[in-house]
Structure 1
Amino acid sequence: MSIPPGSTLPLSNLTRQWPRTRTATAVSAGSTDVGQHVASHLYRDTAVVLRTYKLGEADRIVVLLTEAHGKVRAVAKGVRKTKSKFGARLEPMSHVHLLLSQGRDLDVVSQAESVESLAPLVADLDHLTAGIAVLEAADQMALEREPNPGLYRMVVGALRTIAARGGSLVVPAFYWKLLAADGVRPELDVCVRCGEAGPLVAFDMLHGGVLCRTCRSGAPLSEGALEIMRMILGGRLNDALNTPPSRETHEVMAHATRSLEHHIERRLRTVAMFERAELG
């Protein structure tokens, strides 16, 4: 499934669990079908570059979220010795068609062709920070060699939306949708302890959602932030994304970040980047 350029986050149609049934099948050499093997050790796929790091004096390892093969680590040989287009196409947030050679520990990138330009992501600091946050979260949730086209489409949609309109609520929406797709969906309509419908004044992911005044624990939750969270998880994502930046949107980001960090059991490095941006 392809996503038209300029489309918004394709998140609302995801089920609670990731789709994990798609596998690549072998085809004859010379085929150009994305996600299909073209020979016994060569295959084509489309991917987003999640991150890179150095290998030796000239090579670079690229961590890819592919459409058909899940998270893949591959070597781009010699790209640090030259300023070629090949190396430029393998920077984080790049969206590329790839020809790879399967290896025992690391695959090898043989060809890379740009799918689209997401230049606005790197031209603006806020957009760049939001894009990096999406990549980090996806990197934490993706499994090695586990096909997950739903996650791939979510990442592509999130990056396109940030490039087109900014990331004020795209990042927390992405976090909440990641959690929901992984089976972690907070209760937002009644108190998780006593079942009362309101007023709901606190949010505690340890207990699984919102709490009333009598049962409250965790972090305070404003009525405006609760409504935005309901929009994100209740099928009104575009309405949520149209909400202008405010104290409530910052609150939604804080709740989403804490919830995702609790789920993955580690601190997100991009949180510090957001905090510095707010102080600046």
Structure 2
Amino acid sequence: MSNRSFASRTYRDEGVILRTHKLGEADRIIILLTKRHGQVRAVAKGVRRTSSKFGAMLEPFMVTDLQLVKGRNLDIVTQAQMLGPYGRDIAADYRKYTSAAVICETAEKLTDIDGESTSAHYALVIGALSALSRNVHAPELILDSYLLRALATAGWAPSFTDCARCGEPGPHSAFSAPLGGAVCHGCRPPGSASPAPATMTLLAALLSADWPAADSSVTGARNEAAGLVAAYLQWHLERSLKSLKHVERV
């Protein structure tokens, strides 16, 4: 292979490690969400050896500046430089770890592998992992805020005030995931949830990143909101997340 051909296939980007799995005796396949190239699947050769210079940089929840070479099935990581070592603090705490696992699994499901721009979603993931590592808010609040905002970025923004179906001004006392959130009495389908007003207030705060309101919420509202977020997520993804069942709610 000529140097010119190699150079034409080389690119650089920053990315967050969503997931990894072993390949052979020393290699690792990594699934990345990058800032400019969307979701990327790549192989990092030799990173499982103790002598590897950048093995620790290519663990889940780490943010890394990478040089890669395009391959037929998998790209190849040739250089790595740490940008955000969030995985170190997250891995040391079970609540943080499980929340981060859900964030990364959701990001993998919501982003494409075709190189389309995912800069908005990338920023959400980085912000959530950074907040988890720094103990800025309760892990479960960071998780639910990320999930709602990620779904909104994907085009499925829920309503927690006006009726999601007819637009009648709220607040309303019913919630329907299939209809898009809050629903009025006239639009409410059978079996709709009837969350407490404090829960709907918290959901709206999480969606808009109103952290003073979210941080002051009570445990009951947080647990009820988590159930509604999970239902809304599952409806739009059309599947459940494996990692979500491991999240502990206070």
For this structure pair, what is the TM-score category when the shorter chain's length is used for normalisation? Answer: 0.7 to 0.9
1:103 Cα shift?
Answer: 0.8
In 2: Cα distance, 1:208 partner to 1:147 partner:
25
- Corresponding residue for residue 179 of structure 1: 151
Deviation per CA, 1:198-231, whole angstroms, max 9, x where unpaired?
A: 6622211112222345636322211001011222
1:49/1:91 contact within 8 Å kept: yes
1:244 Cα shift?
Answer: 4.8
In 2: Cα distance, 1:149 partner to 1:123 partner:
28
In 1: Cα distance, 2:218 partner to 2:70 partner:
45
1:170/1:241 contact within 8 Å kept: no
Q: Kindly tell me: are residues 108 and 127 of structure 1, through their superposed partners in 2, closer, same or farther at Cα, counting changes over 3 Å?
A: same
In 2: Cα distance, 1:245 partner to 1:163 partner:
23
1:168/1:245 contact within 8 Å kept: no
In 2: Cα distance, 1:224 partner to 1:87 partner:
45
1:191/1:200 contact within 8 Å kept: yes
- Equivalences for 1:120-159 in 2 at 5 Å? 120-144=89-113, 145-159=115-129
In 1: Cα distance, 2:81 partner to 2:96 partner:
23
Q: Kindly tell me: are residues 248 and 55 of structure 1, through their superposed partners in 2, closer, same or farther at Cα, counting changes over 3 Å?
A: same
1:185 Cα shift?
Answer: 1.9
Instruction: Return the letter of the residue paired with 1:58.
Output: A
Give unpaired runs (5+ residues) of structure 1. Answer: 1-28, 30-37
- Corresponding residue for residue 162 of structure 2: 190
Give the TM-score normalised by structure 2. 0.87
Q: Kindly tell me: are residues 240 and 268 of structure 1, through their superposed partners in 2, closer, same or farther at Cα, counting changes over 3 Å?
A: farther
- Corresponding residue for residue 256 of structure 1: 229
2:176 maps to 1:204 = yes
1:85 Cα shift?
Answer: 4.0
State the aligned residue count. 240
In 1: Cα distance, 2:147 partner to 2:41 partner:
23
Quote the sequence identity (%).
36
1:80 Cα shift?
Answer: 2.4
Deviation per CA, 1:110-161, whole angstroms, max 9, x where unpaired?
A: 1111113222211111111111111111111111122211111111101011
Deviation per CA, 1:33-67, whole angstroms, max 9, x where unpaired?
A: xxxxx930111111100000122222110001111
Give the TM-score normalised by structure 1. 0.78
Give unpaired runs (5+ residues) of structure 2. Answer: none
In 2: Cα distance, 1:245 partner to 1:126 partner:
18
1:257 Cα shift?
Answer: 1.5
- Corresponding residue for residue 16 of structure 1: none
In 2: Cα distance, 1:194 partner to 1:39 partner:
55
Q: Kindly tell me: are residues 211 and 70 of structure 1, through their superposed partners in 2, closer, same or farther at Cα, counting changes over 3 Å?
A: same
In 1: Cα distance, 2:218 partner to 2:58 partner:
32
Q: Kindly tell me: are residues 242 and 121 of structure 1, through their superposed partners in 2, closer, same or farther at Cα, counting changes over 3 Å?
A: same
Instruction: Return the letter of the residue paired with 1:121.
Output: I
In 2: Cα distance, 1:52 partner to 1:236 partner:
30
In 1: Cα distance, 2:81 partner to 2:165 partner:
53
CA RMSD of aligned residues (A): 2.3
1:241 Cα shift?
Answer: 4.1
- Corresponding residue for residue 108 of structure 1: 76
Structure with the bigger RCO (C-alpha within 8 Å, sep 6+) is: 1
1:100/1:110 contact within 8 Å kept: yes
2:195 maps to 1:221 = yes
1:200/1:211 contact within 8 Å kept: yes
